Amino acid sequence: MKAVVLAAGQGTRIRPLSDSIPKPMLPVADRPLVAHTIDAAIDAGADEIVLVIGYEGETVRDYFGDEYRDVPISYAVQTEQAGTAHAVNTAREHIDGPFAVLNGDNLYDPAAVDRLFEHCPAVCAIAVDEPRNYGVLSTDGDSVTGIVEKPSEPPTNLANAGAYAFPERAREWLEVPESERGEHEITDVLASVIEEFDVTPVTLDRWLDVGRPWELLEANEWKIADLDRRIDGRVSDDAHLEGDVVVEEGATVKPGVVVEGPALIRSGATVGPNAYVRGATLIGEDASVGHAVEVKNSVVSRGTSVSHLSYVGDSVLGRDVNFGAGTNVANLRHDDADIKFTVKGERVSTGRRKFGVVAGDGVKTGINSSLSPGLKLTTGATTRPGESVERDR
């Protein structure tokens, strides 16, 4: 079976992190987000991966090349973002048998992807508490009988998780009319398959749609927790590593450092001296965490520097960020209310009691900057020394 993996979108809701990199290529543990999806497909038996690319597509090509894990990679280019069926239709020439469709910005329970392939035609679903907010599957025993978007009276609590295994004939049904949203929807293709075939619902134990910055943080919490302890880099005898900590070859952990796993310190990164890293933290390639810095439950992306005497908690820092000495991130409100964050101009709840700052690529803070909970610093933004920043910039 071939797997068509959708990776063409920018991800406007996750800005500024996607300003110069496609959302599916953002870091989740030791690889890009989309690589977890591709790995699950290969482990399930995919004999070819067709990547649908668009925004900053060369970034995807450069990473995966023509072959990944001994499986050939093909590319289809979606020049306009016109919906999921439109995206799959751009890959039509590569489809010559049963095929799976997976979203490159979703994390799937790998065992369920195995079952999806095995039971083709099939669709993945996740049991939810509020099905009225989702596309919901109707079922009759072990068969899917239909799908309805955000129903007032849901037929089941099974929400469509956006992963499909289609028979070859579905290739003929990829050209669908525009929906009310002005997009060509893959659910219309699913509806055609349901009319002609017995479609099996495959229930996921775990699934995550990574659309907003705090969901990227949650994705890293999931995948970093899955790592087993491995120490390949240089670790001082005076450092203390506790639990499932991974220090990749080429990374350096200096004297006085304490790392409480799960945590991942990637190749070329430097931590310390006398730093404290804890709580599902990713220290990216060539990043630097300086003297007397604490980083807790955060993503510190490639080439970023958090200088001495700083605190970063529950935050996502993009590439080549430079936090000046004494920069402190607040991640908790005095009233303990959930932190809100700006998504496409609207303040929305993250659902998290603790959430710090999201800094785009190239952000620089002056020494002794104070950053408020739920703050967005756009690509290249700066702060002045001693400044308390309470509003997005």
Residue whose token pair is 């083709």: 120
Nearest-angstrom CA–CA distance, 7 and 105: 7
Q: Which one, of 61, 55, 35, 27, lies nearest residue 304 by Cα? A: 27
Task: Report cis status (omega within 30 of 0) of the bond before 32.
Answer: no
Active-site residue, from 119, 291, 308, 334: 308
By DSSP bridging, strand 281-283 and strand 71-77 are unpaired
Nearest-angstrom CA–CA distance, 252 and 267: 8
User: Is residue 374 within 8 Å of 391, Cβ to Cβ?
Assistant: no
Q: Which one, of 249, 251, 250, 255, lies nearest residue 236 by Cα? A: 255
Return all residues near 379 (Cβ < 8 A) that are at least 6 apart.
Answer: 16, 19, 20, 318, 360, 361, 362, 363
Report which DSSP code applies to 146. E
Where does residue 392 rank: exposed (0-12), middle (13-18), buried (19+ CB within 10 A)?
A: middle
Active site residue 308: yes
Residue whose token pair is 């751009």: 90
Nearest-angstrom CA–CA distance, 283 and 114: 31
| Cα first-last separation, the chain | 47
Q: Tell me the residue type at 1.
A: M
Angle at 217 between CA 211 and CA 221, to 5 degrees: 125
Q: Which one, of 106, 18, 120, lies nearest residue 59 by Cα? A: 18
State the catalytic residues: 308
